[in-house]
Amino acid sequence: MTKKTQLQVGDFTLQVSNLNKVLYPKAGFTKWQVIDYYTRIAPVLLPHLKNRPITLKRYPDGVDGFFFYEKQCPSHRPPWVQTAEVPSRREAGKIDYCMINDLRALVWAANLADLELHTFLHRAPAITRPTALALDLDPGAPADIVACCRVALRLRKIFESLGMQSFPKTSGSKGLQIFVPLNVATTYEKTKAFAHTLAGRLEREHPEEVVSRMQKSLRKGKVLIDWSQNDEHKTTVNVYSLRAKNRPTVSTPVTWQEVRKVASSGDGTALVFESEAVLQRVAEQGDLFGPLLKLKQRLPPLRSLQ
């Protein structure tokens, strides 16, 4: 039986349900704790979600149960949940994606057991202009996040040589992601070509550690630099999003000093953060991903990577 509750969110009252339902069984982490985390992290999370179309990834029976992706914003959404119209690549017509632009919408999505927040790299209405370049470092066993850190430091060095700043975050799963803020007029064609060329360069320079091709047979013991996320049809897990793992881990911004320390020590557990730890980090350090919101940088020509 569904147990409904009225929840006060700012000046509004929302109806939520089954707050005691355990969504992370191994951690005993309930739906109420999911909503509580997203409510408390909202001041730093919402600016990164603003006007970004989002794919909902819903786990109605918790992380050990059935899940599904929901691109089309549900028809039962409240009228104050904004949407963005995006052309569909696979079907004629369009998809109206949800946008999580305020705390009400965030709580509404959490109540749907949308544990993970997967957003595009663009903001509506400029749906063909990415605001950042992203590189997803995915380790193929037995490689791990330590190997990702070593590759990340090489990428940072290249970006520094180009006069560009880059910012790391954990995926909240097993890898690391590098974001390069742009916030200028550009296209996915340019960012994808740049990311692909850069990944290919690292593979040529360090073939024993890095792969840029997607075939799984090539990835054992290496770090895949996934450049393909730089695409107007693809989403990436948003910073501060929970992940649907055994425990409520979070995609967490980290410092380059932390990345360097893990690369040196070999202790990958130092980059595993659960929800409470992330809230504490933000209280102490602020939003380490803040520069992604405003820092303007232009990608240099591809020949700069040669």
Report the C-alpha gap between 52 and 239 in whole angstroms: 13
Asked whether the predicted pLDDT for residue 95 surpasses 90, the reply is: yes
Give the tens place of pLDDT for each residue, 178-204: 999 999 999 999 999 999 999 999 999
Which residues in the chain belong to E strands, given as ranges? 4-9, 12-17, 22-24, 29-30, 53-58, 68-70, 83-87, 94-99, 114-119, 122-123, 126-130, 132-139, 167-170, 176-181, 210-211, 223-226, 236-237
Q: What are the residues whose beta carbons fall under 8 Å from the beta carbon of 141, sequence distance 6 or more?
A: 220, 221
Contact yes or no for 34/106 (Cβ under 8 A): no
Asked whether the predicted pLDDT for residue 92 surpasses 70, the reply is: no
Average pLDDT over residues 157-182: 97
Q: SS3 for 205?
A: helix
Tokens of 108: 């509404």
Give the tens place of pLDDT for each residue, 122-152: 999 999 999 999 999 999 999 999 999 999 9
What number of residues does the chain have? 306
Give the least confident one: 139-153, 209-223, 251-265, 274-288. Answer: 209-223
Compute the mean pLDDT over every residue in the chain, rounded to the nearest whole number: 95
Residue 12: the pLDDT is 87
Give the tens place of pLDDT for each residue, 206-221: 999 999 987 777 788 9
Give the tens place of pLDDT for each residue, 47-62: 999 999 999 999 999 9
Report the C-alpha gap between 100 and 119 in whole angstroms: 10
Residue 225 β-bridge partners: 137
Q: Amino acid identity, residue 170? A: T
Contact yes or no for 301/198 (Cβ under 8 A): no
Specify the DSSP class assigned to residue 43.
Answer: H
pTM: 0.96
Contact yes or no for 222/209 (Cβ under 8 A): yes
Asked whether the predicted pLDDT for residue 278 surpasses 70, the reply is: yes
Residue 248: the pLDDT is 98
Report the C-alpha gap between 11 and 9 in whole angstroms: 6
Q: Which of 168, 134, 163 is nearest to 255 (CA)?
A: 168
The pLDDT-based confidence of 9 (bands split at 50, 70, 90) is confident
Residue 214: the pLDDT is 78
The pLDDT-based confidence of 91 (bands split at 50, 70, 90) is low
Report the C-alpha gap between 122 and 152 in whole angstroms: 23
The pLDDT-based confidence of 1 (bands split at 50, 70, 90) is low
Tokens of 19: 């707050």
Percent with pLDDT over 70 in the chain: 99
Asked whether the predicted pLDDT for residue 2 surpasses 90, the reply is: no
